Structures are given as C-alpha cells and as structure tokens.
C-alpha cells in the first residue's frame, strides 16, 4: 500500500468517533476542519458499504473527488472468520469482504481493515486463508484488537503469517497497546515487540476511549511509529470511542490528538 507524503505529521479522522453522521455531512466536516483524509467505518454498524446501491456509491465517489480522500475502510469481519476454507462460515465471510472491497474500490480507497479480536491458536494458523484484495488495488489491514497479541508467541506467529502472505499489513491501535502495557508493566519489552512489527505496519490509530492519551502504551507507539508516519510510511488517524460521540466532542478530541502526536515527534525517543 503506497501512502503518499501529505504534510508533516498529518493525522486523519476515523468516522467511528461521530455517531449517526451522514456521508455528505462527513465530507463537509472533513473539508471545514481541513482533515487531510478519512477512515470510514464501512461495515453494517457503520455506512454498510456492501449493501449500498451503485447510484449511492457513485454519488459518494464523485463527492470524494473534491473532499479529503477516504483512504481506509473498516469491516466488521474478523480474522478468525477466514478459517477453514470451504465451510459455510468462510464462504459467507469471503462474500461479504468481496462485496465490501468492490464498493470500497469505487471510493478510491487503498485498504480494508479486518479485526483480530482474539489471538489465533497455533493449530489454527494453517487453516487461515485471507482473500487477496490486490485485484481491487487494496491492502488488507489486520488490527490486533486483543492486548494478548502483543506478547511473544502470538506476535511471532502473526509476523510469520505476514511474511508469507502477500497483500497484508497491520493497523496498530494505541489503546490496545496501552492495555498490553498495563498487563506487562514494562515499556522496554513492549517497545522491542512493536519495533519488530514496524516493517509490517501501515496504519496507526491514535485511539482515545475516553481516558486520554497519557499512558505509557500510547507513548511507545508514538516513539516507535512517529517518524514512519512523518515520512509517509505509516498513515496515522485519530479514533475516538468515548461516550460522547457528538461532532463537537470528537473534533475537540481530534485537535488535542493532533497536538499530542506532533509534540511526541518533536520530543523524540
């Protein structure tokens, strides 16, 4: 996935932070606040792109050409849904991802994210078969959504899978890393683990779940990936999942997150 350089420490916005916003309003908001790019919640709990008609998608695609781009779309699908090809569950997940990727391609997006809500057991890896979205010009992002991923064997297994399967990359969420830090109690080992994932990481979400960005896990992500985000190797966006998902609260948190990220880059390691 090629991420072009935009501005120094550019930070996009993930639409999950504004509850109930319509697409046209999201485009207008991103333009008004000069947000450089958007990440879109694309599954059934979001804009449900896979079930939108072509007329609607074409209208949004046209609007996107004159607005900050949608560079990533998130699916509700899970990595574990793509276990054991040939089963009915696998076929359903594959069809859903195919529909979502087809719709997403119309918007000019370059990546689709899957969640990894739980650690994949060693015996399961042989049955994991993710479809290659290269035909749509996209990368499949995997978001490590369980703090247990950031430990020895699970992390090594994920890195090995990424090494052998083309078209995949990671989305690192600072809140998940902070949860891992609270479990581990050590920044040194966690920092080493994250550094090992740097070459596989294409997106970072500065993730504020209502408790702010002051914890050690957030800092170690900024230290590990900050310069990569600055030079365009990693795309950085803000994710707000606190209780108040109003436009006003989300944008207040967004502005704070941008300042925090930029100050983290200036502070250095």
In this structure, the dihedral spanned by the alpha carbons of residues 179, 185, 187 and 192, taken in order and rounded to 10 degrees, is -80
| DSSP string of 25-42, one letter each residue | HHHHHHHHTT-S-EEEE-
**Residue 191, pLDDT score:** 85
The answer to whether position 142 is within a domain reads yes
The answer to whether position 1 is within a domain reads no
Calpha distance 77→69 (Å, rounded): 23
Give residue-wise pLDDT tens across range 98-139: 999 999 999 999 999 999 999 999 999 999 999 999 989 999
The domain that holds 21 is classified in CATH as: 3.20.20.150
Residue 93's alpha-carbon distances to 100, 132, 206, in angstroms, are: 11, 13, 28
The answer to whether position 6 is within a domain reads no
Model pTM score: 0.93
**Residue 47, pLDDT score:** 98
The answer to whether 121 and 154 have CB atoms below 8 angstroms apart is no
- Name the burial class of residue 263, with classes exposed (0-12), middle (13-18) and buried (19+) by CB atoms within 10 angstroms of its CB: exposed
Total domains present in the chain: 1
Closest CA to 74 of 103, 40, 104, 102: 40
24-48 burial, b for 16+ CB within 10 Å, e for fewer? eebbebbeeeebbbbbbbbbeeebe
The answer to whether 72 and 111 have CB atoms below 8 angstroms apart is yes
**Residue 244, pLDDT score:** 98
| DSSP string of 143-183, one letter each residue | EE-SGGGGSHHHHHHHHHHHHHSTTEEEEEEHHHHHHHHHH
Residue 93's Cα: distance from chain center in Å? 19
**Residue 228, pLDDT score:** 62
Residue 199's alpha-carbon distances to 162, 224, 247, in angstroms, are: 10, 11, 34
The answer to whether position 152 is within a domain reads yes
Q: Which residues pair with residue 140 across a beta bridge? A: 112, 168
The answer to whether position 4 is within a domain reads no
SS3 state of residue 140: strand
Query: 220: which 2 tokens?
Result: 């170690």
Which domain, by its residues, includes 211?
12-267
Calpha distance 49→180 (Å, rounded): 32
The answer to whether position 54 is within a domain reads yes
Point out the residues of the chain with pLDDT beneath 70: 1-8, 185-187, 227-232, 267-269
The answer to whether position 26 is within a domain reads yes
SS3 state of residue 83: strand
Calpha distance 186→98 (Å, rounded): 41
The answer to whether position 2 is within a domain reads no
Closest CA to 171 of 141, 209, 150: 141
């Amino acid at each position: 996935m090629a991420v072009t350089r935009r501005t120094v420490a550019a930070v996009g916005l993930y639409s999950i932070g504004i509850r109930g916003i319509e697409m046209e309003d999201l485009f207008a908001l991103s333009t008004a606040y000069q947000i450089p790019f958007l990440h879109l919640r694309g599954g059934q709990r979001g804009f449900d792109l896979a079930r939108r008609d072509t007329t609607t998608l074409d209208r949004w695609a046209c609007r996107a050409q004159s607005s900050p781009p949608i560079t990533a779309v998130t699916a509700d699908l899970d990595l574990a849904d793509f276990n054991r090809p040939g089963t009915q569950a696998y076929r359903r997940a594959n069809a859903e991802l195919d529909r979502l990727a087809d719709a997403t391609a119309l918007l000019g997006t370059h990546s689709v994210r899957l969640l990894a809500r739980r650690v994949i057991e060693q015996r399961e890896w042989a049955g994991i078969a993710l479809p290659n979205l290269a035909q749509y010009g996209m990368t499949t992002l995997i978001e490590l959504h369980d703090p247990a991923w950031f430990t020895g064997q699970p992390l090594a297994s994920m890195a090995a899978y990424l090494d052998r399967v083309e078209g995949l990359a990671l989305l690192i969420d600072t809140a998940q890393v902070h949860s891992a830090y609270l479990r581990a109690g050590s920044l040194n080992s966690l920092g080493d683990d994250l550094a090992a994932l740097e070459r596989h990481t294409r997106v970072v979400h500065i993730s504020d779940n209502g408790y702010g960005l002051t914890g050690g896990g957030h800092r170690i992500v900024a230290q590990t990936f900050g310069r990569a985000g600055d030079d365009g190797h990693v795309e950085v966006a803000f994710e707000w999942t606190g209780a108040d998902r109003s436009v006003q609260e989300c944008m207040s948190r967004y502005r704070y997150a941008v300042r925090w990220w930029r100050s983290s880059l200036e502070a250095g390691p």
